Amino acid sequence: MNTNMKKRIFALALSAFTAAGLMNTAAWAEEAPAESSFEVSCPAFTLTVPESLKDICTIETEDNGISFYDTASREKMGGFVGGLYVYEGPADYGMNPSFRRGGEIDFPDGSKLDLVWEYPTDVQFDFRDEKIKESYNTIADALDEIGETLVPADEGVFVRQEDIDTTGIYTDILKKLRLDIIEKKDEEGLLADDFSYLYARFYEMEGVDPLQAIGYAFTDVNHDGYSELVIGAVDDYRIYDMFTQVDGEPAHAFSSGERDMYNLCLEYDNVPYFFRNDASGSAAYSEIRISILNPNEPELYPQFSFVLDYEEDPENPYYYQYSFGDRVSATEEEWNDRLEGFNKPYQPEYVPIDMAG
């Protein structure tokens, strides 16, 4: 946690707690508030929890948030169901393995804190015990509703994730590309402006208006609550350029080329998750690289590759190349069976770049 975050949390703690100090575990109110609920507070915010969870849920407060546990599973299995926490930005939480942005807290001085739901990455209860399974799921089902009751401390204002526009950081990029196309910048000029040279190919296409044929779309590829900008041909699934955000600012992740083309594949919760990069070095060597985009990082993170290398072994050119080790030989059938899961491309909902003017 950086210095500014510590100062913010310290200031919030002074205003939110008495001289008795911060409690590690939330105390149940002696009298339940109206509508059969009770309040739980951390330095940054207060949540209202249904009274019905009192006997099955253990709630713990931390400096930056509130955690919910299944009481029956707490000792033996961990029992963690989820927690809502505040961070200064994606750099502080982007590498967490399982999270979802719930919005932000905005302050009068223009600063803000990101609200992030974090979840377990392994089994935290005995799924063979139906009674425990029911209590765990009851808590899990209540978390979203509990999150909606959030009341910030220190004059903060709660802004829900669905009400946040995360696309505005790309406005200047889209305007620049539109202007480049109007001016018909050549391949070298496009590359100098951090765009793929492929857009120049549209200028000479008979009967094609590049401003209508080239399009852009927004999609939250890495599920961090921030939209990525993808650009390509309106009637195609391939991606010529992608921009993401790093510390709230736009960052260029990649550009495609003729023999180095990207697309999205394999949807998760109706959102694409994996990138496929078809790259060819020669007629005898090519790769299909599978990658993901980690939150708050400017470039793709490789997972593995499908390699065709006829130079190494013309009789059996099929290999897997893992990001953490040497490549492994495979049969043609094994190679194709595994590749099948990445053969269905995701079609971005491109709109013409002319609409970005």
Return the higher-pLDDT residue of 95 and 57. Answer: 57
Neighbours of 220 (CB within 10 A): 15
Residue 269's CB is within 10 A of a number of other CB atoms, namely: 6
What would the DSSP string read from start to end of 107-136? -TTS-EEEEEEE--SS--S-TT-HHHHHHH
Q: Give residue 17's pLDDT band: very low, low, confident or very high (50, 70, 90).
A: very low
Min mean pLDDT across 192-196, 254-258, 282-286 is at 282-286
Instruction: Tell me the per-residue pLDDT of 142-165, one tens digit each, with 9 for 90 and over.
Output: 999 999 999 999 899 999 998 998
- Same domain for 90 and 8, yes or no, is yes
Specify the number of domains making up the chain: 2
Q: What is the mean pLDDT of residues 32-49?
A: 87
Tell me the Cα Rg of the chain: 25
Q: Which of 3-12, 49-58, 63-72, 257-266 has the lowest mean pLDDT?
A: 3-12
Indicate if 174 and 242 belong to the same structural domain. yes
Same domain, 286 and 352: yes
Separation CA 341–CA 109 (nearest Å): 49
Alpha-carbon span 147 to 102, nearest angstrom = 8
Residue 73 has pLDDT above 50, yes or no: yes
Q: What is the reported pLDDT for 341?
A: 84
Domain's final residue, options 163, 183, 215: 163
- Round the average pLDDT of the chain to a whole number and report it: 88
Lookup: tokens for 245: 């955000």
Average pLDDT over residues 288-298: 91
264 and 121 belong to one structural domain: no
For the chain, how many helices (H) and strands (E)? Answer: 8, 21
The answer to whether residues 189 and 90 belong to one domain is no
Same structural domain, 114 and 210? no
Same-domain check for residues 143 and 188: no
Burial of 97 (0-12, 13-18, 19+ CB in 10 A): exposed
pLDDT of residue 8: 45
* Boundary of a domain, candidates 133, 163, 193: 163
* CB burial string 5-38: b at 16+ within 10 A, e below: beebbeebbeebeeeeeeeeebeeeeeeeeeebb
| pLDDT range class, residue 183, cuts 50, 70, 90 | very high
**Other beta carbons within 10 Å of 112:** 19
Q: What span, in angstroms and rounded, lies between the C-alpha atoms of 85 and 104?
A: 10
Residue 236 sits in the same domain as residue 338: yes
Indicate if 98 and 184 belong to the same structural domain: no
Report the pLDDT value the prediction gives residue 112, as an integer from 0 to 100: 93
| pLDDT at residue 96 in the model | 72
Kindly state the tokens that stand for 113. 């804190």
pLDDT tens-place string over residues 91-141: 788 767 788 889 999 999 999 999 999 999 899 999 899 999 999 999 999
Copy the structure tokens of residue 105: 């807290």
From 5-19, 96-110, 268-282, the region with the lowest mean pLDDT: 5-19
- Identify whether residues 115 and 204 lie together within a single domain: no
**CB 320 within 8 Å of CB 305:** yes
14 and 143: one domain?
yes
Structural domain of 151: 3-163
Q: Pick the last residue of a domain from 163, 197, 212.
A: 163
Tell whether 105 and 251 lie within a shared domain: no
- Residue-wise pLDDT for 245-268, tens only, equals 998 899 999 999 999 999 999 766
pLDDT at 270: 63
| Residue 325 confidence (pLDDT) above 80 | no
